Amino acid sequence: MILAGDEASLYLQVTLMRVWSGVGQTPVVKCDPGRSLTHFYGALNLASGQETVMRTQVMNSAVSALFLQKLLAAYPTQPILLLWDRAKWHQGQAVNELLTAHPRLEIVCLPPASPELNPQEHVWKATREAVSHNHAHAKLETLANLFENHLANTRFPSSLLHQHGYHHLCAMFN
């Protein structure tokens, strides 16, 4: 199982994108003055387009290890290769202990400063466009629930495996 993982933060503050409105009618976008936020860990199954998601209030090694446990539970029998960036919370004792205890999970770090190589970034972008841009929700909890539901119930196709001949290689070894 090849997965691409990353994290995103969701703020109650509105992020804007283009919107239709009547001629001479300026759209009104309400803005929350606070800095309320929540975080999401996500991993995209590059073959199926299925997303595994976990919401959290903090990002650290212990929470990263919890997310890795969630991935192990989601794919209980398959070896897992996780493409991940080099965020500081992806390292540390909790993550190292989990990787030692579960050798079927292997992490390959993406090159530094290369979000364009991570298919999970496209998932965040699509979900922000569908849910959080131009939103009118007054509560972060409501917005976060919609964000999480969209991630869990949407397939996000990725061409990364196809571009690198993965399916042809698999066919040769089956």
Q: Is the dihedral of CA 70, 75, 80, 84 positive or negative?
A: negative
Taking only the tens place, the pLDDT of each residue in 52-61 is 999 999 999 9
pLDDT at 16: 58
CA distance 37 to 24: 34
Taking only the tens place, the pLDDT of each residue in 131-173 is 876 666 678 898 899 999 999 999 998 876 555 555 444 443 4
CATH of 2-15+29-173, one of 3.30.1950.10, 2.40.30.10, 3.30.420.10, 3.30.230.10: 3.30.420.10
Domain extents in the chain: 2-15+29-173
pLDDT at 170: 45
What integer is the mean pLDDT of 102-119?
92
Per the CB < 8 A criterion, the answer to whether 71 and 52 are in contact is yes
Continuous segment of H or E residues that includes residue 45 = strand 37-45
pLDDT at 154: 95
CA distance 14 to 133: 6
What integer is the mean pLDDT of 10-28?
70
Packing angle between helix 93-101 and helix 61-74, nearest 10 degrees? Answer: 20
Residue 48 has pLDDT above 80, yes or no: yes
Q: What is the pTM of this model?
A: 0.83
pLDDT at 22: 77
Tally of CB atoms within 10 A around 158: 19
Which parts of 46-132 are beta strand (E)?
51-56, 80-84, 105-109
